[in-house]
Structure 1
Amino acid sequence: MTSTTAITASTIIASQPAPSDAILAERADVLAHPGRYRVLTGDRPTGALHLGHYLGTLRERVRLQDAGVPTYLVIADYQVITDRVDTSEVAASIRELVLDYLACGIDPARTTVFVHSAVPEIGQLMLPLLSATTLSELRRNPTVKAEVAESGSSAIGGLMLTYPVHQAADILSVGGTLVPVGGDQLPHLEQSRAVARRINERYGAGQVVLTPPQALLTEAPRLLGTDGRKMSKSRRNAIDLGASEDETARLVRGAVTDSLRHITYDPVARPEVSSLLLVAALCTDRTPLEVADEVGGGGASALKVVVTEAVNEHLRPIRARRRELERDPAVVRDVLRSGVERARPVAAATLARVHEALGLSYDLGLA
């Protein structure tokens, strides 16, 4: 047996926390008892991270890390090919992701950052998880439906159809018990919980083989892009974290607003204006109403000046840190190598535990 599977399956089973029937974890309990949880979250390397990622997820990850919650970040490179043929930019995108993580405060000494394809045990774990998943569940999964709609294709590839199980394997392979998500992602997390429960029920013999993960509802706002639609990398309507201050100003000036001169915060009636107010508020630790009162009758042009200054001021130290990191050609490689070295033994132990429960552990005398 190799060193990556030196931990016995029975030892891991005994150390697993009792699974919770509740899909939602209480933030107060997470912060009070960070050692009881393990976060797994991540990104597909399909382009640069933008302001929406930072305000919506990156800051949350840093807060959890700083609170002492063991955190794993997976860069899901295999998941790029669920809906894309061209993979020529994946390596460059991975480098950009890691630089953004570090610049925003992710500490690789406390957070394990790893590339999906470098941990083959995840793919092996996916097979028993697929056996515990029905075709109807996959077809009605909101994540799959949304991705297919976004791609504009009527054909669904096998990897796209099994996308939720692939993500479940990411979570469960490293013993992830806490996944920060928005409310619209709860159905996806329930798929991970369902397959974990089924493996336990079918093969656990009264013991916990896989711990069903819980969701931590993020306080992430719904930010609109500069065109008034949902902020998205693919729509090119977002402000990249690595954008220059001049580029940020240009993008904000071009943002869609409305014809009313007096600025008010009304997300229903004035979604574009309200989204800009929210961005400024989040970057200055104020409320959107306070920002609206400051702008008052200054109109959209005055609002955009306030937003530009708030974003550039808030991101200035992050951008400076990123430029510093870019000068070290080894920093990304070192972070990912260390992350894989930590993630693989955990994933290998999980796979060994599942194999033992399924009766698939064989002594073949292999080195």
Structure 2
Amino acid sequence: MENNDKMEYGTYEAAVEKSNKLEKDIIANPLNYRVLTGDRPTGKLHIGHLFGSLQNRVRLQGLGVPTFIVIADYQVLTDRNTFEQISQNVKELTIDYLAAGLDPEKGRTVIFPHSHVPELNQLLLPFLTLVSNAELNRNPTVKEEIQASGQKSINAGMYTYPVHQAADILFCKGNVVPVGKDQLPHLELTRTIARRFNERFAGGQIIFPEPQPLLSKATMILGLDGSQKMSKSRNNAIMLSATEDETAQLIKRAKTDSERLITFEPERRPEVANLLNLISLSTGEAPEAIAARIGEGGGGMLKKMLTESLNDYLRPHRERRKQLEADPEYIREVLRHGISQAREIASQTLSEVRKAMNMEI
């Protein structure tokens, strides 16, 4: 697939249309779906994660959709030379998940680290036989990630990254994956692997569903530098674990522009629009209305309003986070329980795979 807009299910616009229909059916029939999503444990999460993905996961959980959240710890090794903090980062991710409202005790959300589910990894070998080197070479997302990593030598783990993700999704027979446009090529390869497995090994029987993309409606949140996506590695993020004073100091450094009159013009004034969007996400008020209220108040008033609204919004999350940090045994129990649930499902799937491939003994 050489173009993000050329997918099996049509153009990007067609994918949006299908995603909208999927959203309606998920609301009507939540138990017909199984969501797989997750993050790499590279550190604590920031407000971009909260507004961009965590809130949507909590929403799906509230609808009653069974949701699996993989903490992709093996994938950290694909483009980073450090591994010393992986275990602690797994715990930090789990704390942020729980503080945001994800609740494994409700029985529909499973949180687990990839490395503790060996049955999942056993899917990699048969899946690798179903894709060609040319297909891996064409994946635009991997090319971008390789370029972003800045590494001169790329290991095979990065090269086969999309196949790892296919195993993550298909081990639990996930049929819905929340994604942004840039992640569609990964999901398309997962759909291809599922279809080829069913055709080659199962005689057309549906062992694996072809997962559908649920496209994110969230506005991309720029970092405080105003030019790139918010990211811890770019040092332009507000972490969910930051204190109110730290948040205020970070926002003071946020980039705006020289115009005093505040207007919401995302194309012409992306830095100002980004801060207005953050206020809007924190308060529910439209960014245009916020801009009109600030008027000639300039960047100083804009930053003051953002500091107050964001700190107010994050206060309950931060309080829950402190409580969870004080109970490390509960965090370990959440992970142990998630691992147990994931392994049980993965074992069942692996049994079906062995039977389809005539490997039973």
Same fold (TM over 0.5): yes
In structure 1, distance between residues paired with 2:325 and 2:216:
30
Q: Does the 8 A contact of 1:39 with 1:69 survive in 2?
A: yes
Give CA deviations for 1:80-113 in whole Å, capped at 9, x if unaligned. 1001121011111111101100000000123100
Q: Does 1:107 align with 2:103?
A: yes
Q: What is aligned with 2:77?
A: 81
Aligned to 1:48, the other structure's residue is in SS state coil
CA 1:121–1:217 in structure 2 vs 1: closer, same or farther (change >3 Å)? same
In structure 1, distance between residues paired with 2:328 and 2:198:
45
Q: What is aligned with 1:335?
A: 334
Q: Per chain length, whose mean CA-contact separation is higher, i.e. which structure has more relative contact order (CA < 8 Å, sep 6+)?
A: 1
Q: Does 1:30 align with 2:26?
A: yes
Q: What is aligned with 1:142?
A: 140
Please show how residues 247-262 of structure 1 align to structure 2 within 5 Å: 247-262=246-261
In structure 2, distance between residues paired with 1:131 and 1:164:
13
Give CA deviations for 1:231-289 in whole Å, capped at 9, x if unaligned. 11211210000100000001011001111111111111101110110010011012111
Give CA deviations for 1:188-207 in whole Å, capped at 9, x if unaligned. 11010011001111111131
Aligned to 2:214, the other structure's residue is in SS state strand
Q: Does the 8 A contact of 1:197 with 1:212 survive in 2?
A: yes
Question: What amino acid is the match of 1:116?
Answer: H
Aligned to 1:180, the other structure's residue is in SS state strand
TM-score for the superposition, normalised by structure 2: 0.93
In structure 1, distance between residues paired with 2:124 and 2:290:
48
Count the aligned residue pairs. 343
In structure 1, distance between residues paired with 2:103 and 2:155:
36
Aligned to 1:175, the other structure's residue is in SS state coil
Which stretches of structure 1, 4 residues or more, deviate above 6 A after TM superposition? 20-23
Q: Does the 8 A contact of 2:141 with 2:182 survive in 1?
A: no
Aligned to 2:238, the other structure's residue is in SS state coil
What is the CA-CA distance between 1:21 and the residue it aligns to? Answer: 6.8
Aligned to 2:219, the other structure's residue is in SS state coil
Q: Does the 8 A contact of 1:182 with 1:220 survive in 2?
A: no
In structure 2, distance between residues paired with 1:294 and 1:183:
33
TM-score for the superposition, normalised by structure 1: 0.91
Q: Does 1:65 align with 2:32?
A: no
Please show how residues 1-367 of structure 1 align to structure 2 within 5 Å: 24-25=18-19, 26-109=22-105, 110-228=108-226, 229-362=228-361
What is the CA-CA distance between 1:187 and the residue it aligns to? Answer: 1.4
Q: Does the 8 A contact of 2:276 with 2:291 survive in 1?
A: yes
What is the CA-CA distance between 1:341 and the residue it aligns to? Answer: 0.8
Q: Does the 8 A contact of 2:264 with 2:273 survive in 1?
A: yes
Aligned to 1:81, the other structure's residue is in SS state helix
What is the CA-CA distance between 1:136 and the residue it aligns to? Answer: 1.3
Aligned to 1:262, the other structure's residue is in SS state coil
Structure 1 stretch 37-46 or stretch 342-351: which is displaced more? 342-351
Q: What is aligned with 2:5?
A: none
In structure 2, distance between residues paired with 1:178 and 1:124:
22
Question: What amino acid is the match of 1:204?
Answer: A
Q: Does the 8 A contact of 1:143 with 1:164 survive in 2?
A: no
What is the CA-CA distance between 1:150 and the residue it aligns to? Answer: 0.8
Structure 1 stretch 302-311 or stretch 21-30: which is displaced more? 21-30
What is the CA-CA distance between 1:114 and the residue it aligns to? Answer: 0.5
Question: What amino acid is the match of 1:95?
Answer: K
Q: Does the 8 A contact of 2:79 with 2:151 survive in 1?
A: no
In structure 2, distance between residues paired with 1:139 and 1:300:
45
Q: Does the 8 A contact of 1:39 with 1:177 survive in 2?
A: yes
Question: What amino acid is the match of 1:344?
Answer: R
Aligned to 1:272, the other structure's residue is in SS state helix
Gaps of 5+ in 1: 1-19, 363-367
Q: Percent identity?
A: 52
Aligned to 1:330, the other structure's residue is in SS state helix
Aligned to 1:179, the other structure's residue is in SS state strand
